[in-house]
Amino acid sequence: MLSLNSATTTRTTHNDIGYVRPPPATASRCDSVDRVSLLPALTGTFGDAPDAVRVGDHATDFADLAGAAGALSRRIKGARSAAVVATSTVETVVAVLAGLAAGVPVVPIPPDAGTGERDHILRDSQADVLLNATTGPEGVEAVPTRPNDRAPWTEPPKGETALILYTSGTTGKPKGVPITSEAIAACLDGLAAAWDWTSDDRLVHALPLYHVHGLVLGVLGALRTGSRLHHTGKPRPDLLANANGSLYFAVPTIWHRVAAAPAEARKLSSARLLVSGSAALPAGVFTALRELTGQAPVERYGMTETLITVATRADGNRQPGAVGVPIKGVETRVDDTGALEVRGSTVFAGYLGRPDATEAAFTDDGWFRTGDVATIDADGVHRIIGRASTDLIKTGGYRVGAGEIEDALLTHPAVHEAAVVGRPDDDLGQRIVAYVVADAVSEETLVEHVATTLSAHKRPREVVFVEELPRNALGKIQKHKL
């Protein structure tokens, strides 16, 4: 395993050949489906059901969804790009599918986006129509859905940009990430193989519909595999538990809430697979879910720029903190600082209108720099230590991963959440500072706990107790706000 304190580690390349057991026979069914269509559920490949797609209290079938999207697509044909106010509704699903059918890049906008963020995304993407809205800013036409309109579904054109997703903007204004239909297909087929995800599944989640996890996996994934989809609207444990799914997607914040509701968590024991992503799942939540549901969750890793690249297989070894192995078509490597780089069929070609940022994001030999620090063991299993910019702390001549210290803090029974950062220090270069949500416990106790759990030089020099940690909508801790 790569050591973060090693200065001599050479690059090691990993792909999905050689160390991953072949999938069971049932998993290969994803390869037997006709993949000429990007979303074969909309062409009748998997049959239909009255509640094939349910969002909140609104249910529809695949055929009606295809017809509504086909009608809306004809009204926006020829637009430069189509922004969508991505509320958790069937209307959002229709709007996204309409853009795909029209061959118009779809630009999801968070429904709670401030005016500044919204206007930046609209200008940067050159959106000239706004869907799922009744009014738009100057120069952008609002195109509302007509509930009774229906027209045949049209297959999205190949080789074109399907989505323009925007980064979180933690290091400046959000950047546009063009995603092709081929990248979407490669990602979803890789995950279908890894998770034995088929039309027999019922997918349940409550994720936002403006990013990779909720939109690409949580909506387009269902329409590509043919699985039924139930978006519960709100991420409440009772709604998730009563949805009777076989496959569940959630972020750690939601899984933490589920684990804190034992009666609801136990109802998930009938599910086939519990998937966590978008941020690291705390070891305590991993253990609680395993005890309450009878199975350990699987974790996966990806970014807006790469879609999902690494995943724990359904038949793989499920370990706390491990995000698995590369999916088919993806390769990974780490450099001598532990920085993770990827390449493959799911990776974008470059930022929208930002050649400078694109050049900085790729190595000279074409690998994408994720900005994350990772370890890869002999079996190819990846563990994400954290962001290189905030989670690789250089203190007293050592390189220390913030995630390792956070995991150590979370093993103390009084600690509920933890985030570790490096602060400038005249003596050490950076000192380790821990922000902690905890019951009554002293700073000295937690410092000693880390020092005895890990090496002494990895102990926090300061512990700050807070009521909650700042997180974005996907549950990721926003360390720049600490």
β strands within 221-357, DSSP E? 228-231, 247-250, 273-276, 298-303, 307-311, 322-326, 330-334, 339-344
Q: Are 138 and 119 in contact (CB under 8 A)?
A: no
Phi-psi region of 231 (alpha: psi -120 to 50; beta: other; left: phi over 0): beta
Give, for all 482 residues of the chain, the pLDDT tens digit. Answer: 233 333 323 344 554 332 222 233 233 334 434 457 999 999 999 999 999 999 999 999 999 999 999 999 999 999 999 999 999 999 999 999 999 999 999 999 988 887 888 888 999 999 999 998 888 888 899 998 888 999 999 999 888 999 999 987 555 678 999 999 999 999 999 999 999 999 999 999 999 999 899 999 999 999 999 999 999 999 999 999 999 999 999 988 899 899 999 999 999 999 999 999 988 888 889 999 999 999 999 999 999 999 999 999 999 999 998 999 999 999 999 998 889 999 999 999 999 999 999 999 999 999 999 999 899 999 999 999 877 777 778 787 677 778 778 888 998 999 999 999 988 887 788 899 999 999 999 999 999 999 888 878 889 999 999 999 988 766 778 887 88
Pick the CATH number of 396-481 from 3.30.300.30, 3.40.1440.10, 3.40.50.1820, 2.70.160.11: 3.30.300.30
Q: In degrees, to the nearest 5, what angle opens at C-alpha 351 toward C-alphas 82 and 469? A: 90
How far apart are alpha carbons 108 and 99 in whole angstroms? 11
* Per-residue confidence (pLDDT) for residue 441, from 0 to 100: 94
- Written as one letter, the residue type at 458 is K
Residues 236, 237, 240, 241, Cα dihedral to 10°: -150
pLDDT at 170: 52
The full set of domain ranges for the chain reads 12-384, 396-481
The dihedral through the CA atoms of 457, 459, 462, 468 has a sign that is positive
Residue among 145, 40, 152, 142 at smallest CA distance from 95: 145
Strand, coil or helix: 92? helix
Cβ pair 52, 41 in contact under 8 A: yes
The model's pTM = 0.81
Q: Looking at residue 474, what is its pLDDT?
A: 65
Position 475 scores a pLDDT of: 72
Which class for 223: exposed (0-12), middle (13-18), buried (19 or more C-beta within 10 A)? buried
What pLDDT is recorded for position 34? 46
pLDDT for the residue numbered 244: 95
CA dist., res. 420 & res. 462, Å (int): 10
Fold of 12-384: Rossmann fold (3.40.50)
Query: SS3 for 99?
Result: helix
> What pLDDT sits at residue 482?
83
> Looking at this protein, which amino acid is placed at residue 104?
V
Q: Which of 283, 276, 251 is nearest to 410 (CA)?
A: 283
CB 152 within 8 A of CB 67: yes
